């Protein structure tokens, strides 16, 4: 039996990146067009070379942020444990065996209200001081407390399926669900 989820930052944020890129390029071109044009035509000025590399750096940064926003976070769980992959932050599967999990807490989380944003959020969540939470949508979250003291959290979109998975595959791990969010 497997349980899988995938999520990503709301794609509307790509519009914000596009507006930011267009604004930045427009300002760079408006301020230094003649120096940049001279640099590109083989008559470099000091300002032209600087503007060129600033231009390239900003476009690379905007492309990296766009990649992060459009990337999908994949979560898989089976009898061995859970795995997470979230490029470009986690390029290969990061696995945690069930033997490292001491308890699972089910709670309600708002990425903006509780964590300050979307994506991989590192910090504290309620009583959990060393948390890595993959936050993409408001709703039910499973927070896996590890033996090391770290907590790994993720959004659970199909709560009934997740409850059946936990009951079937990992019955020995305590599940704290005070709000009865899993039904």
Same domain? For 148 and 104 the reply is yes
Residue 100 lies in a domain: yes
* Domain of residue 110, CATH code: 3.30.720
Would you state the pLDDT for residue 155?
A: 96
Residue 85 lies in a domain: no
DSSP code for 71 = P
Nearest CA to 176 out of 141, 139, 147 is that of: 141
Edge-to-edge strand ranges of the sheet holding 119-125: 119-125, 128-135, 151-155, 139-146, 101-109, 175-176
| Residue tagged 């231009």 (tokens) | 55
pLDDT-flagged residues of the chain (< 70): none
Same domain? For 19 and 55 the reply is yes
Residue 89 lies in a domain: no
| Residue tagged 């590399």 (tokens) | 53
Residue 90 lies in a domain: no
Same domain? For 66 and 126 the reply is no
Q: Which domain holds residue 132?
A: 96-176
Would you state the pLDDT for residue 146?
A: 97
Tokens coding 154? 């993720």
Would you state the pLDDT for residue 66?
A: 86
Residue 126 lies in a domain: yes
β-pair type (3-7, 101-109): unpaired
- pTM given for the model: 0.81
Nearest CA to 87 out of 66, 65, 68 is that of: 68
70, 87, 107: which is the final residue of a domain? 70
Residues constituting the chain = 183
Residue 80 lies in a domain: no
Number of domains in the chain: 2
pLDDT (tens digit per residue) in 135-170: 999 999 999 999 999 999 999 999 999 999 999 999
């Amino acid at each position: 039996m497997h349980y899988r989820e995938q999520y990503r930052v709301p794609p509307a944020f790509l519009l914000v990146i596009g507006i930011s890129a267009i604004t930045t390029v427009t300002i760079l071109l408006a301020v230094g067009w003649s120096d940049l044009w001279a640099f590109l035509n083989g008559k470099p000025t000091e300002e032209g070379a600087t503007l060129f590399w600033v231009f390239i750096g900003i476009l690379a940064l905007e492309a990296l942020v766009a990649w992060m926003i459009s990337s999908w976070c994949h979560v898989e769980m089976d009898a061995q444990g859970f795995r997470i992959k979230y490029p470009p932050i986690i390029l290969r599967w990061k696995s945690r065996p069930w033997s490292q999990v001491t308890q699972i807490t089910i709670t309600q989380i708002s990425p903006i209200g509780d964590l300050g944003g979307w994506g991989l959020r590192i910090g504290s969540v309620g009583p959990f001081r060393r948390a890595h939470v993959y936050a993409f949508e408001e709703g039910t979250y499973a927070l896996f407390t590890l033996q090391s003291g770290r907590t790994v959290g993720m959004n659970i979109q199909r709560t009934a399926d997740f409850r059946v998975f936990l009951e079937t595959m990992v019955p020995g791990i305590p599940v704290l669900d005070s709000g009865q969010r899993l039904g």
